[in-house]
Amino acid sequence: MSDRCKSLESAYLNAEYEVDFRHGSLVFTIGEAIPQLIGRPFALITAYNPGHHRPTPEANEAANQRLAAELARAGHETATARARSRDGSHFEPSFAVFGMTLEEAVAAAGTFGQAAIVWFDGTVARLVWVPEAIRRSAP
């Protein structure tokens, strides 16, 4: 694994993830169980900062709006979410997407050039890499 990939992996593994629900938010990390959502798989996807690229805030927001539109068009249930560094120095708006398979989630993230997603399999949150072969820049 290259140093750049190790750096990304470290950022993902050391981040906190938060999903908003009507009755409050749930915060979790990679490797954690989420007892309140046992049996309810979801993907955490963003269009912000694809791979090692750091677009402008306006470009990131536009890409995330395109992702939101695609998820809505496909009829997926979503909740607002975010990924953030534990020290608060980095923050990325995201979507928790329910009713999507892992394969669909990886493909959607790849469409927006993402290197990885967070996948909650109904028991534990884990990091899933998007194969380079399916990653490309957002439309």
Encoding tokens for residue 89?
Answer: 């120095």
Q: Where are the beta strands (DSSP E) in the chain?
A: 15-21, 24-28, 42-45, 77-85, 91-98, 116-120, 125-129
* 121 φ/ψ sector (left φ>0, alpha ψ -120 to 50, else beta): alpha
Q: What is the reported pLDDT for 1?
A: 57
Q: Nearest-CA neighbor of 97 among 88, 108, 89?
A: 108
- Determine the Cα–Cα distance for residues 133 and 70; give it in Å rounded to an integer: 21
Q: What is the mean pLDDT of the chain?
A: 91
Given a cut of 70, whether residue 131 has pLDDT beyond it is yes
Q: What is the reported pLDDT for 7?
A: 77
Given a cut of 90, whether residue 84 has pLDDT beyond it is yes
Write down the pTM of the prediction. Answer: 0.90
Residues 6+ apart with CB under 8 A from 90: 11, 84
- Looking at per-residue pLDDT, the higher value among 2 and 82 belongs to 82
Amino acid at 83: A
